[in-house]
Structure 1
Amino acid sequence: MYRVWNFVTNYSLLLIGGAVLALAWVNLHPHSYHDFVEFVLIDNFFIGHAHEVEGHIHRTLTVHYLVNDVLMAFFFAIAAKEVWEAIILKNGSLRGKKAATPLFATAGGMLGPITVYLGLAAILGSDTFDAVSRGWAIPTATDIAFSYLVGRIVFGAGHPAVRFLLLLAIADDAAGLIILAVFYPSGELQPLWLLVSAGASLATFVFFNWLPRILDRGDQLRPVSSWVRKYLSFWPYAVAGAVSWYGFQEAGLHPALGLLPVVPAIPHADRAFGIFSEAEQYLTDLLNQIEHMLKYPVEVILFFFGLCNAGVEFSSIGTPTWLVLAGLLIGKPVGVLVFGWLAAHPLRLGLPQGMRTADLFVVGCVAAIGFTVSLFIASVAFTGGTTLEGINVQDAAKMGALFSFGAAIIAITVGKVLRVEKQQ
């Protein structure tokens, strides 16, 4: 049974299952589906969707808010952990010259989709542009888990292009977190509340990470650090995470990013083996232990994320759907190829040994799978009431994110056409 569960989670089948169930449910019985998603768990609560009632902020906790704004914070915390280690550790994958070409390719993989999306929208006229322009970030996303799995199918597990793809996806995640925080606030900005988040992170780092190490200096037994680790474990960081999350909600930033300030405060190993590396399970630092502790709960959370966000009626397919798809399927591969080529050849930063220039285009095709993060951005970029040609823009954009799964078939086909040699 464990092996079956491990297979299901490794291949994110719960997320796919939630999305498929949502599509079937909403197209068979839309009213009951929307009643479920918007079901009120607690009215007049301290967390939830905010609306003003008689001059006071009234919050309502719904199923949708619980999943998207509260539980998805754990998903983004895991993504932030990988980004943080890639940047801060000496052998981090986003440090030094080896990361230069992937970072250039990442920039192209974001600018390309934005250019295609907004360019085509402008060609279609001002009404279309005004209705969809806020969704410019939707096609910039790369679903790191699915892209990694498809990349292994196309290139084989041992091909240098797979590691290149992972570097690109991690950098893409980092940029995506910044875009969500800066361009898609959840309400009126109250930046002073961010001091609460920063204070929680700083206090936890000082008292439960830095100070124990200072007190243990010169003592190989590390008694203070061991006591903190044994008796307090992750609880100080859990409390700090809750405080930081609340600070983000009150600050008007998307609260799903609320755990990010706490991640750097957690004790971490001196090295990282890389995302999806089996070797990381043997690291005993608290940050890796928390990540592995969250693995299965986050998979369940992603099931409900798919269920609450992929419920789009097929009648919602429209112009935003094709704009998102064009940004992903055209802008992403072309952007990765052009910027990757510029970095590798004119700038002489090079490519990993065994990787061809043509492989950049294939990597771009694989990275065009937006899915999870594209769905998330679509849900925050548009309000449910925005329409274009009688079609709900948010639903149409979400359908484009769902259809981006087609990039997997395109990537496999392009890989065969360009004679990619698999390396196991």
Structure 2
Amino acid sequence: MYRVWNFVTEYSVLLILGALLALVWANIDPHSYHAFVEYPLVDHAWIGHLHVDAEGHGHRTLTLHYLINDVLMALFFAMAGKEVWEAVALKSGSLRGKKAMTPLIATVGGMLGPISVYLGIAMVMGSTTFDAVSNGWAIPTATDIAFSYLVGRLVFGSGHPAVRFLLLLAIADDAAGLVILAIFYPSAEIQLSWLGLSIAAAVAVWFFANRLPRAMDGQDPKKPVSTMVREKFGFWPYLVAGCASWYGFQESGIHPALGLLPIVATIPHADINFGFFSEAETHMHDLLNDIEHALKRPVEVILFFFGLANAGVEFNSMGDATWLVLAGLLVGKPVGILLMGWIAAVPMRLGLPEGMKISDLFVLGCVAAIGFTVSLFVASVAFDPGPVQDAAKMGALFSFGAAGLSFIAGILCRVEKKEV
């Protein structure tokens, strides 16, 4: 396992500071907090929230909240998408081959378990409650990679195979979460024709800035054309294509925070993948990794503002959605991961990494129950602003309680810590 502690710590601290500031501000002066978050930056803009009048005429308003959640968070999801892409596409990718099967199957349990618990309890609570909260079923499926990794290191030790298992599971969880956001949580009425712009942008930049230069190089090991294109144009073709793709997503109705994902797969990359947040990747200088290195600090700042813009809920906003999100995460995650991980390891005979026990799966499931970042994001798109959204966000914030549950589970399951 490569050292990732410094990166994840920096990532986490700014996000936590933003969330804490939002909580304090929203509970001291909620009016000024919401006025700040929803402050209109530009009216009648090309991008922003769509407003349609009674006659069917629409215009967009760019608010601070839209700028953070829909525009800037696209960079965060692009970085997450980069890790998923490398894990799947590269020959050395961590989600390829038999070694990834048990984590992948456990990930299915880590999503089906929370959904079943969330919707099952909501049905028991009655049709009124079910109708009000059912659209939030995906909120407890999320796993916050950074925070889960921090807790996983403390519970298992940096050298335990469960830590790598956790990272594989979290990356797969991210991939599934991106698909869920795209399909089940559109930002407006779906207009698939606009996706043609995103597809065209991705194909064009891949062909003219990637495939064509490599074809012109032929067998020349110096790759003069590819080198010239990179030195002369750098990341600019991909930035232009990214803007076009993002706009296509906005107009299509698919959440625009996912708008850069089609471009990520077109950027030239190395043939080796060291894993999420790996320090070793700082020494790699293919264009994809260079872009990620350049985005690292800006994304940390963006996550501060994401916490500030989304975690500002009043403590009296707790409601049914709070407890449903918590139950899905704290009960559904560990049970789902344990059950499906066991099925993969024992009946399917796929096994576990050497040094892992079946009981470690339950502890790992408790660690993965920290939803925070992505759970907050899904809550913000699953519900309209109001009491239900605030209650769901409170559940996402309270999922930090999974950290304490993880330590208790580690003691009860007699986890053998392993350091490197």
TM-score range, shorter chain: over 0.9
CA distance in 2, matches of 1:8, 1:423: 20
Contact 1:142 1:169 in 2 (8 A): yes
1:10 Cα deviation from its structure 2 partner = 2.9
Deviates more, 1:272-281 or 1:24-33: 272-281
Instruction: For residue 230 of structure 1, give the secondary structure of its aligned residue in structure 2.
Output: helix
The one-letter code of the counterpart of 2:27 is: N
- Give the equivalent residue in structure 1 for 2:369: 368
Give the TM-score normalised by the residue count of structure 1. Answer: 0.96
C-alpha distance 9-418 of structure 1, shift in aligned 2 (>3 A): closer
Contact 2:10 2:300 in 1 (8 A): no
Deviation digits for residues 362-400 of structure 1, max 9, x if unmatched? 110000000000000000000124xxxxxx100000000
- Give the equivalent residue in structure 2 for 1:397: 392
| Correspondences of 1:1-400 after superposition (within 5 Å) | 10-53=10-53, 54-385=55-386, 392-400=387-395
Contact 1:333 1:362 in 2 (8 A): yes
The one-letter code of the counterpart of 1:31 is: H
Give the CA RMSD over aligned residues: 1.0
Contact 2:8 2:277 in 1 (8 A): no
C-alpha distance 342-395 of structure 1, shift in aligned 2 (>3 A): same
The one-letter code of the counterpart of 1:368 is: A
Instruction: For residue 265 of structure 1, give the secondary structure of its aligned residue in structure 2.
Output: coil
1:276 Cα deviation from its structure 2 partner = 1.9
The one-letter code of the counterpart of 1:344 is: A
The one-letter code of the counterpart of 1:13 is: V
Deviation digits for residues 97-118 of structure 1, max 9, x if unmatched? 0011001100000000000000
Contact 2:118 2:325 in 1 (8 A): yes
CA distance in 2, matches of 1:276, 1:413: 27
CA distance in 2, matches of 1:347, 1:374: 31
The one-letter code of the counterpart of 1:14 is: L
The one-letter code of the counterpart of 1:44 is: H
- Give the equivalent residue in structure 1 for 2:3: none
Contact 2:11 2:300 in 1 (8 A): no
Instruction: For residue 12 of structure 1, give the secondary structure of its aligned residue in structure 2.
Output: helix
1:282 Cα deviation from its structure 2 partner = 1.1
1:9 Cα deviation from its structure 2 partner = 5.3
The one-letter code of the counterpart of 2:401 is: G
Contact 1:9 1:296 in 2 (8 A): no
CA distance in 1, matches of 2:120, 2:107: 20
The one-letter code of the counterpart of 2:295 is: L
Work out the number of aligned pairs and report it: 413
- Give the equivalent residue in structure 2 for 1:420: 415
Deviates more, 1:29-38 or 1:49-58: 49-58
C-alpha distance 206-324 of structure 1, shift in aligned 2 (>3 A): same
Deviation digits for residues 336-359 of structure 1, max 9, x if unmatched? 000000000011000000000000
The one-letter code of the counterpart of 2:266 is: A
CA distance in 1, matches of 2:349, 2:269: 34
Question: Is there any run of 5+ residues in structure 1 with no aligned partner, and where?
Answer: 1-5, 386-391
Contact 1:8 1:14 in 2 (8 A): no
C-alpha distance 259-7 of structure 1, shift in aligned 2 (>3 A): closer
Question: Is there any run of 5+ residues in structure 2 with no aligned partner, and where?
Answer: 1-5
The one-letter code of the counterpart of 1:109 is: G
C-alpha distance 208-15 of structure 1, shift in aligned 2 (>3 A): same
- Give the equivalent residue in structure 2 for 1:388: none
Deviation digits for residues 40-79 of structure 1, max 9, x if unmatched? 0000101000011343221000000000000000000000
1:301 Cα deviation from its structure 2 partner = 0.2
CA distance in 1, matches of 2:226, 2:8: 37
CA distance in 2, matches of 1:8, 1:256: 22
Give the TM-score normalised by the residue count of structure 2. Answer: 0.97
Deviates more, 1:167-176 or 1:274-283: 274-283
Contact 2:8 2:146 in 1 (8 A): no
Deviation digits for residues 269-291 of structure 1, max 9, x if unmatched? 00101112211111111001111
Deviation digits for residues 168-195 of structure 1, max 9, x if unmatched? 0000000000000000000011001001
The one-letter code of the counterpart of 1:33 is: Y
